[in-house]
Amino acid sequence: MPLDIDEIRNEIDRMDSDLLRIFNQRAALALKIGEIKKERGLAVYDPAREKKIFERVKKANPGPLDDGAIVRLVERVIDESRRLERIRTKGEEPC
């Protein structure tokens, strides 16, 4: 028997909760990296690292989202992690 719309929406809600947990775990790890970068005098922005991330996620992408969509989503997550690193390590004000 096919799922009804409420069951599908409930599954989406569960996935959204999983994403929220994962995004925050990732951000916590990015903050740890930010502290290490600060101690070592390294820049927050590392374009070579980001390029590797984008290539990895495109290669692993099974669809139905196309590679461009995946890169845009991951890019946004990285942007927010970088913003958080700057706020925490340089004392910038959150937007």
Residue with tokens 């820049």: 43
Whole-prediction pTM: 0.81
Q: What is the DSSP letter of 71?
A: H
Is pLDDT of 3 > 90? no
| Interacting residues of 29 by C-beta distance below 8 A, sequence separation 6+ | none
pLDDT tens digits, residue range 11-40?
999 999 999 999 999 999 999 998 898 899
d(CA 85, CA 32): 9
pLDDT tens digits, residue range 58-86?
999 999 999 999 999 999 999 999 899 88
